[in-house]
Amino acid sequence: MLDCFHDECGVAAVYGNPEAANHVYLALYAQQHRGQESAGIASCFPGDDFIIRKGQGLVSEIFDQSQLALLKGTIAVGHNRYSTSGKAILENAQPFVIQYRYGRLALAHNGNLVNSDELRAMLEHRGAIFRTTNDSEVLLHLIAHCNEPDFISVLRSVMSQVRGAFSIVLSDGERVYGLRDALGIRPLVLGELEEGFVMASETCALDLIGARFIREIAPGELLIIDGKGYESVQLLPKLPRTAHCIFEHIYFARPDSYLFGHWVHDVRKEMGRQLARESHIEADVVIPVPDSGIIATLGYSQESGIPFELGLIRNHYVGRTFIEPKQSIRHFGVKIKLNPVKSILDGKRVVVIDDSIVRGTTSRKIIKMIRDAGASEVHLRIASPPTICPCFYGVDTPTRSELIAHNHTVEQICTYVTADSLAYLSHEGMFNAAGGGGETFCSACFDGKYPVEFSGMDT
C-alpha cells in the first residue's frame, strides 16, 4: 500500500552473547519494515562504557562488517526508527545513550508518549537540557531526575508518570530490561539463544537469529535479564483490559510473526475470509494490492471460490527516493511501484483487495490502472473497517481531515476511487478474525475510542 499509515519503530536487545551486536543487527534487519529512517546499536561488556553506532537510512546501509566489529560486548540494544514524534534527523536516532549520576543507560523505545510535551516543559523548568525533539528523551530525563532508592523503583515511578504507548528495551551496562505499557499497545517478545536471551518487537526477529520464542512480555510487566536468567516484575498495576494495536495484525507486523497470542498470517487470512462472507460479488478474478493485501486476498479467494491471481506486480527494488522524468508521466508515483498484468485483467470482472484506504488517492490511481489494462469491472474490497481517526500511540498517520472516510460515506468514497463497488470489513468481522474485541484491542483509528485520553486529540 502506497498511501498508507507508516510503520512505527522496532526494538531489539541481547544479553549474555559474545555476538550480541551481530544478533541485534540481524534482529533489526528482520524488523526493517517497522522503520526505515534510521537505526542504531549500542553494545558493551558488563561494567564497561557503551559503544554506539547509528545513522540515517536502512540497517544494511548503516552497518557493515567493520562497523559491527567495533560493537564489542555481550550486551547490545538496538532500534529501527520511523518518526512519529520528533523530526527525521540523526539526533533523534536511537538508542539513546547517557551517563548520569547513577551510571550509564542505553534506551530504545517503540511507541509514543501522549503527555510528553507537558513532561518536557516540567523538566525544562527544572533545568533539563534536551538535545533532541524525540519524546523518548523525556524518559531519560525523568529517570535521571528521580530520587527513588533503586532502579526498579525509579522505573516504576517514571512509568507511572507517562501516558501513551511504550515498548522499551534498555540496559544499565549490567543488565537488560524490557517493559510494556499497562495496556500492551505495542508488541514485545522474549526469546532464548544458545547463549543468552533476546527481546524484540516481533518474533520474526527471533527466527532469523535462531532464538527460541519463550513468550510475549505482558502489559505493565518489567523483565530483567542478567547472568542468573530473567526475572519478572509487575511494574504497573494490572488493568481489566488490554489495548493491543489492531493495525499490527492488519498491516504493520510481518505475517510470519506471532503477535498478541495469534499468528499474523492466520489473522489476515481470516479477515479476508470474513470479508468474502460479508461482501461477496460475482467476479472472474481476485487480486491483491501487493504486498499488504496478499494474505487477505488468499482468504477471500478460498472463501469465495474466485481464483486468486497476482494481477499487480510490485517493483521490490524501488528505493526510498527516485528521480522522476522531467516530462511528467501520469500517475508516475504509483507506476514506479506497481504494474498491471494485462493477460490476467483484460476483459475480466476484478475484485481488488487492500488492507485499508487512507486518503484514497492511491486507490483511485490503482483502479484507473486496472481499467486501462482492460478490466470490465473493478470491485474494491478493504480488509479492515473505514479509517476515520489518526493514531496518537506511535504510528505516523494523516490528520483527521486528510482521512477520506472521516468526512465521506462509503458510497462517496466508491465514487471518488471510481470503483464499481466498494465494501469494507465490519468491526465485528475484524475483531472475530483477531480473536478478541473492543476490550482486547485498540481500534481508535476505526472508531475514535482512544484507550488513553489526552488533550488535543482532534488534529
Per-residue pLDDT reduced to its tens digit, 140-154: 999 999 999 999 999
Per-residue pLDDT reduced to its tens digit, 222-232: 999 999 999 99
Catalytic residue numbers read 9
Antiparallel, parallel or unpaired: β 221-226 and 229-234? antiparallel
Cβ contact 13:171 at 8 Å: yes
Q: How many CA atoms lie within 13 A of 291 on its CB side?
A: 8
Residue 169, phi then psi, degrees to nearest 5: -120, 140
Per-residue pLDDT reduced to its tens digit, 300-345: 999 999 999 999 999 887 654 444 555 556 566 788 889 999 999 9
Rounded to whole angstroms, the Cα distance separating 17 from 77 reads 12
Per-residue pLDDT reduced to its tens digit, 90-110: 778 899 999 998 899 999 999
Task: Read off the pLDDT of each residue in 41-54 and give the average, rounded to a whole number.
Answer: 97
Cβ contact 288:351 at 8 Å: no
What pLDDT was estimated at residue 455? 62
What is the torsional sign of CA 198, 199, 204, 205? negative
Task: Indicate whether 272 pLDDT > 70.
Answer: yes
Site of grid cell 476490550: 439
Give domain 258-447's CATH architecture: 3-Layer(aba) Sandwich (3.40)
Mean pLDDT check: name the lowest of 134-143, 249-258, 417-426.
134-143
What pLDDT was estimated at residue 331? 62
Mean pLDDT of the chain: 92
Fold of 9-240: Glutamine Phosphoribosylpyrophosphate, subunit 1, domain 1 (3.60.20)
Helices 294-304, 264-278: inter-axial angle, 10-degree rounding: 50
Cβ contact 198:209 at 8 Å: yes
Task: Read off the pLDDT of each residue in 18-32 and give the average, rounded to a whole number.
Answer: 98
Domain boundaries along the sequence of the chain: 9-240, 258-447
Please name which of 10, 18, 29, 50 lies closest in space to residue 171, comparing C-alpha atoms.
50
